Chain A
Amino acid sequence: MGNQKLETTPLQSSREDVRIAYLTALAIVIHIAESALPSPLPGVKPGLANIITIAVLCRFGWKMAAWVSLLRALVGSLLIGTFLSPTFFLSFAGALAAVAALAPANRLPGIGPIGLSVLASLAHMAAQFGVAYALFIPHPALLGLLPVLMTAALVLGLVNGRIAVSMLRQLESPNTSGKTPDNTA
């Protein structure tokens, strides 16, 4: 009767799941913070959240990085309120391109976070520019901005990569906090 014990399966979050959730949240925060930055071309962003993408890629694999990145772009835009706006299309295209570029890039022998970050950053910026040019401002004058944007992408790619390296070192260390509510370490 009423005393029948309900079989509950405790939700097992592994340490990994928590880490990924944490990183995704961080990525979203960075994404939102970045939206406050001014840009030479409205809506085109430096892609700082790619630090997270690269870190996740190196630590958890491409599939996970793809998830985190695209989720970040979607959730981020929902939270800011720009979902399905031009800004969203730009950032989503950028995230998509970065993720797509990382798949073959990850196979290059000897590639590290910095190389990956550079490639992701270039792909991200190129895709954003492409969408901006094709859909919003197909004016030849815009092409003059592309070299400048790509230079910034290159520099940022290097910087992001460096930060990702530090982040990865932190993630590798078993002593870092990763609170696991179930305490099954």
Chain B
Amino acid sequence: MPQVRLLAAPVLLALLLLAGCQRAPELYQDRMLAFGTLVDISLYGVTPEQGRAVSARLQQQFLAQQQAWNPWQPGALATLNAALAAGHGTTVDAQLAHLIARGRALAAASGDRFNPAIGNLIELWGFHRADSALPSAVPAPQAVDQALAQRPRMVDLQLDGLQVSSRNPAVQLDLGALAKGYAVDLALETLREMGVENALVNAGGDLRTLGRPGKRPWRIGIKNPREPGVLASLEVDAGESVFTSGDYERFFEHAGGRYHHILDPATGYPAGGVRSVTIVHDDAVTADAAATALFVAGPEAWPAVARAMDVRQVMLIDAQGRAQMTPAMAERIQFERQPAPPILIRPL
């Protein structure tokens, strides 16, 4: 009957539309505690079974890395540090060796503003343990000077394949400013291995993307915990990372002063003049290290260090609340807060 046939068309259309509704990029999300923070993973276009499998593997991976790279708990890095302090070398696994090598290269590029060798200084301040009592006081100036005088530097390390040794027994590695970046990069490798094409790994605010969530770029909100709400937003493309270092992450107050965990290796005291540094870069390890290095470099000198580390997209919020940024960052960042903070563009 022609009537029925004509009716079939809209019926089919309706069914197709309903079926289409289900086809929106399937999102699988999970979160896990690792590296002292909450790691969110978002996977697009996977079935729940695949999602669970990926999640389980990443969780295992993160926990293993956390243990291996935490110098303050028994593990591979702690063992290495003990050996270095005792004056002899030891063998490490490939990942740790790679991490140390990258750390050394980045330290050199940053003029040692990023210096993972100052574990002694960090321990002196008390920022190392996650659960110990807060430092009740600033360390004695003599102790700080003493630690500085020993000049622990990454160049003191000798890397021979998987063999690591040091000329300077004062070198104690704290890879905290690098480890999250490496964990995120390795997580992405695992995701690719497992056939995931579009995902986002967000380790407590430091993130990297894989592919795209559908046909659009990723929309990332930038917060400064000093203010409520979203400070700015960024459209991020496949494979880019966004890392931020801030003076609000770990700090303590004492006798009217505020002391945060990003120490300036040159002075031995927390770096001043900066509230936060946000870096956009392809590689998470570089982004992580650069965020620290530029923080230490300070509100005046940071562009030179950014140039040296080949990091083009930087936003630095200084102690006056001014947003300093590179032209490349200015092009893509959008401030959500009205009024927007004063902006200073600093070409590299």
Interface of A toward B, CB cutoff 8 Å: 108-110
Main SS of chain B's interface residues?
A: helix
Distance between Cα atoms of A62 and B10 in the complex (Å): 20
| Chain B residue contacts of A108, Cβ below 8 A | 6-7, 10
User: Is B3 part of the binding interface, using a Cβ–Cβ cutoff of 8 Å?
Assistant: yes
For the side of the interface on B, what is the size category? under 10
Distance between Cα atoms of A109 and B10 in the complex (Å): 12
Apart from A108-B7, A110-B7, what are 7 other A-B pairs with CB-CB below 8 Å?
Answer: A108-B6, A108-B10, A109-B2, A109-B3, A109-B6, A109-B7, A110-B3
Distance between Cα atoms of A110 and B10 in the complex (Å): 14
Interface residues of B in 1-27 (CB under 8 A from A): 2-3, 6-7, 10
Distance between Cα atoms of A108 and B7 in the complex (Å): 7
Q: How far is the CB of A115 from chain B (nearest CB, A)?
A: 11
Q: How far is the CB of B27 from chain A (nearest CB, A)?
A: 16
Closest partner residue, chain A, to B10 (CB atom): A108
| Chain A residue contacts of B7, Cβ below 8 A | 108-110
Main SS of chain A's interface residues?
A: loop
Distance between Cα atoms of A109 and B2 in the complex (Å): 9
Q: How far is the CB of A40 from chain B (nearest CB, A)?
A: 25
| Chain A residue contacts of B10, Cβ below 8 A | 108
Q: How far is the CB of B9 from chain A (nearest CB, A)?
A: 10
Closest partner residue, chain B, to A107 (CB atom): B6
Shortest Cβ-Cβ A-B pairs, 9 listed:
A109-B3, A110-B3, A109-B6, A108-B7, A109-B7, A108-B10, A108-B6, A110-B7, A109-B2
Closest partner residue, chain A, to B5 (CB atom): A109
Closest partner residue, chain B, to A104 (CB atom): B10
| Chain B residue contacts of A110, Cβ below 8 A | 3, 7
Q: How far is the CB of B135 from chain A (nearest CB, A)?
A: 43
Q: How far is the CB of A147 from chain B (nearest CB, A)?
A: 14
Q: How far is the CB of B153 from chain A (nearest CB, A)?
A: 53
Distance between Cα atoms of A110 and B4 in the complex (Å): 9
Distance between Cα atoms of A108 and B3 in the complex (Å): 9
Interface residues of B in 153-175 (CB under 8 A from A): none
| Chain A residue contacts of B6, Cβ below 8 A | 108-109
Distance between Cα atoms of A110 and B7 in the complex (Å): 9
| Chain A residue contacts of B3, Cβ below 8 A | 109-110
Distance between Cα atoms of A109 and B7 in the complex (Å): 7
Closest partner residue, chain B, to A105 (CB atom): B10
Distance between Cα atoms of A109 and B3 in the complex (Å): 6
Q: How far is the CB of A120 from chain B (nearest CB, A)?
A: 16
Interface residues of B in 209-252 (CB under 8 A from A): none
Distance between Cα atoms of A120 and B3 in the complex (Å): 21
| Chain B residue contacts of A109, Cβ below 8 A | 2-3, 6-7
